[in-house]
Amino acid sequence: MRATLIHGPRDVRLEHVPDPRVELPTDAVVRVVAACVCGSDLWPYRGVAPTPEPRRIGHEFVGIVEEVGASVAAVRPGDFVVAPFTISDNTCVHCRNGVQTSCVHGGSWGAVNDDGLFADGGQGERVRVPYADGTLVVAPAVPSDELLPGVLACSDVMGTGHHAARSARVGAGSTVVVVGDGAVGLCAVIAARRLGAERIVAMSRNPARQALATRFGATDLVAERGAEGVAHVLDLLDGVGADSALECVGTKESMQQALDVARPGGLVGFVGVPAGGPEVSVRQMFGTNVGVVGGVAPVRSYIPELLADVWSGAIEPGLVFDLTLPLDEVAQAYAAMDERRAVKVMLRP
């Protein structure tokens, strides 16, 4: 089969690799129907994270189960499934606590996992899925082409935006500021609205993303950043600040922006993969009682409820995909996201 490998900065290639197969009784093999490029994939692409040797890449995909191991019970051949961006057994204590990203048997796509075997990356034609019963979520049916992007968004960005909102305890009547207008930030707007937020300020200076944020439920837009951005947000929120600030970027500046727009006693929900660190001012947190909660999103625990809302049309996170390319053109997909010509690219094998 063919799958994507990253060789180094700005060098991703679709190559022939061995076909995956069921290796363990708990495995499944999934034929990928759609995959995507994540903002975090851009880190090795840009050389921010090193790539010492060529490796498989991609951790967001949906597809159809082709084969399952003898002990797989919840997933059957022919099922359309959503794969979260991490592997988990969904039975260990951390999974039961809703933190599947800390699963004691957990692992990553495109890496050798706890079982000592290689799990394919998501940007390929097929994937060996460890702990198939725990990892995969079965969709009600094969989605229409119209529904497909929204279903794919449940694999990462929608669940990640939701995690930011949940971590910051967004609820009915909340005032929310979303820092970051990438796919995750836009999904965080959806999540905040879905959880009942009354006021949602999206910080964005890109007209297309502003429009999408507004469609998703943002009540206010702030184009400024830094101190000017803080001043504008405070002006909108009666000088008080937000109950919840959702940090969806991962830089020192975005974390500071989130801390600065939260009200005393408020929460920052953070899901941006930290580009550095430590970068949180404990003294500021101490003085303001603004807490910082979040991390790598346990998307697996959120997929059932989010997928149901995508299926019903209640939420439309698929709109974050503004470019679809065949898997053959995966290199162009990376370039489009790197150059910010696309918010999020869907790949079709």
For the segment 64-93, give every residue that binds a second copy (CB under 8 A): 93
Beta-carbon count within 10 A of 147 CB: 17
Say which residue the tokens 């900065």 belong to: 9
Cβ proximity to a second copy, 164 vs 221, nearer residue:
164
CA atoms of 321 and 72, how far apart (whole Å): 32
Assess 287 for contact with a second copy (CB under 8 A).
yes
Selected binder of a second copy within 101, 123, 135, 160 (CB under 8 A):
101
Residue 278 sits in the site that holds a second copy (CB under 8 A):
yes
Least Å distance, CB 282 to a second copy, is 4
**Which range, of 64-72, 220-228, 280-288, 309-317, touches a second copy by CB under 8 A?**
280-288
SS3 content of the chain, % helix, strand, coil (to 5): 35, 25, 40
CB-count burial class (<10 Å; 0-12, 13-18, 19+) for 114: middle
Nearer to a second copy, 8 or 274 (CB): 274
Is 172 a binding residue for a second copy by CB under 8 A? The answer is no
Q: At what angle do helices 157-167 and 183-194 cross, to 10 degrees?
A: 50
Interface with a second copy, residue 113, by CB under 8 A:
no
Please tell me whether residue 292 binds a second copy under the rule CB under 8 A: yes
Alpha carbon distance 334, 322 (integer Å): 13
258 near a second copy, rule: CB under 8 A: no
Q: Are the beta carbons of 58 and 45 closer than 8 angstroms?
A: no
Residue placing its CB nearer to a second copy in the complex, 35 or 157: 157
Contacts of 130 (CB under 8 A, 6+ apart): 24, 26, 27, 87, 105, 107, 113, 114, 115, 117, 119
Compute the least distance from the CB of residue 318 to a second copy, in Å: 27
Output 297 or 306, the one with its CB closest to a second copy. 297
Site residues (CB under 8 A) for a second copy?
A: 93-94, 97-99, 101-102, 167, 238, 240, 255, 263-265, 267, 270, 273-274, 277-283, 285-296, 298
